[in-house]
Amino acid sequence: MRSTFKVLFYLKRNKEQPLAPVMGRITVNGTITQFSAKIEVPVRLWEVKGGRAKGKSVEADRINRYLDNIRGQINKHYQDICDHDSYVTAERVRNAYQGFDRKYQTLLEAFEKFTVDYRKRVGVDRARRTWERYCKCSEHLHSFMEKVYRVKDMPLLELEQSFIEKFHTYLFHDLGMSPNGLSGYLKCLKYVVKMAFNNGWMPRNPFALYRYTPPQVERGYLTNEELQRLMTTPLRHKCQARTRDLFLFSCFTGICHADMRSLEWKQFEQDAAGNWWVSGNRMKTGTKYLVRLLPVPLSILNKYKGLAGPEKVFPMSTVKVMDRSLKFIAAACGIEKQLSFHLAKHRKFYKCQIIN
């Protein structure tokens, strides 16, 4: 059904005063609201039927041009609201004209605000890699909208469930992502849109009913034979030997890269039986862990004692640098599996001794 829209100007007469203020009336689908045009005109020049100044005098022309400018602005705001939202009232049009209506938020603007706020929490209670994933998701969304929708951004109010379905297809077919890889980006998109809904930037969450569960994949791990080969194969570079030692420590303790990076000597304790233990809270989840140290990690601890300063335990590189080094280490050791630091914690407490 087509909406009815009209803008009318009239005088607010005040007894016998020669000048009267001009008022405006906006009508949309039966809803009516009024506003002041912030101009006074001579009563003698006013034409009630036309809602404007009569005649061709310089003063009449000035008044009419002023009122036509107001009418044009109101028409533009009315059209903008119609283009972005199906719910239009006279009051919303008036508020938009007077500058009281909020600007329509877009998807990439929501992502930018979210990532800026998230960045402030990195290292406190949020991980840097998660922040980087949200930033990368924003880049993928920009490329996706330019290719599929031929736009650089999209208002939140225009989002439908078909948007995330098409984004899923884009990540899988166009970018060649694995089901588990694209699942992370879909979660980022859903969470940012959910936060936008919670903040009142959109009247509904278009992705609330969308579900995607990636297929279960078998987690990779090193066999005891591969682990022995990794421990005994000579390496040419010292940096690779250090990466291998830190990777082995993670294998035998199950402590991930982020927690190893923050590991301090005060977290180690010896019990009455002479066994050494390490405890702490996982950076990602905050859950507590308690691990008994076998001979392999104890030997690695002694080897790196004091190299990272008086408090820190290990001189850790970034996970990207270490994963790149692990690829060369795997090739040198004849291991066909794709090694990554994340792989280490898939198999804990290997029952073998360090080989000198």
Which one is predicted more confidently, 46 or 99?
46
**DSSP letter assigned to residue 43:** G
Rounded CA separation 90/98 (Å) = 12
Total H helices, total E strands in the chain: 12, 8
pTM of the model: 0.57
Q: Are 294 and 278 in contact (CB under 8 A)?
A: no
pLDDT of 346 = 67
Whether the pLDDT of residue 2 is over 60: the answer is no
Cα–Cα nearest to 294, from 349, 230, 346: 349
pLDDT of 348 = 43
pLDDT of 355 = 35
Label residue 18 left, alpha or beta by phi (over 0 means left) and psi (-120 to 50 means alpha): alpha
pLDDT of 354 = 36
42-53 pLDDT, tens digit per residue, is 999 999 988 999
Helical H runs in the chain? 58-84, 90-97, 107-119, 128-144, 161-169, 179-198, 224-232, 238-253, 257-261, 295-303, 319-333, 341-344
Whether the pLDDT of residue 126 is over 90: the answer is no
What's the pLDDT band for 106 if we cut at 50, 70, 90? Answer: confident
What's the pLDDT band for 3 if we cut at 50, 70, 90? Answer: low
Which one is predicted more confidently, 71 or 352?
71
pLDDT of 356 = 33
What's the pLDDT band for 23 if we cut at 50, 70, 90? Answer: very high
pLDDT of 164 = 96
Those residues whose C-beta lies under 8 Å from the C-beta of residue 92, and which sit 6 or more positions away, are 81, 101
Whether the pLDDT of residue 352 is over 80: the answer is no
Averaged over 109-134, what is the pLDDT? 91
Which one is predicted more confidently, 39 or 200?
39
pLDDT of 139 = 97
Locate 140 and state its tokens. Answer: 């993928």
Rounded CA separation 201/204 (Å) = 9
239-272 pLDDT, tens digit per residue, is 999 999 999 999 999 898 888 988 999 999 999 9
pLDDT of 86 = 64
Whether the pLDDT of residue 102 is over 60: the answer is no
pLDDT of 214 = 83
pLDDT of 188 = 97
Which one is predicted more confidently, 150 or 26?
26
Adjacent-strand bridge partners of 264: 312
Q: What is the largest CA-CA distance in the chain?
A: 109
Cα–Cα nearest to 160, from 200, 107, 213: 107
pLDDT of 200 = 80
Locate 171 and state its tokens. Answer: 């990540």
Whether the pLDDT of residue 313 is over 70: the answer is yes
Averaged over 111-137, what is the pLDDT? 91
- Domains identified in the chain and CATH numbers: 5-98 (no CATH), 107-199 (1.10.150), 224-352 (1.10.443.10)
Averaged over 277-291, what is the pLDDT? 86
Whether the pLDDT of residue 301 is over 60: the answer is yes
80-94 pLDDT, tens digit per residue, is 888 776 678 888 888
Whether the pLDDT of residue 287 is over 90: the answer is no
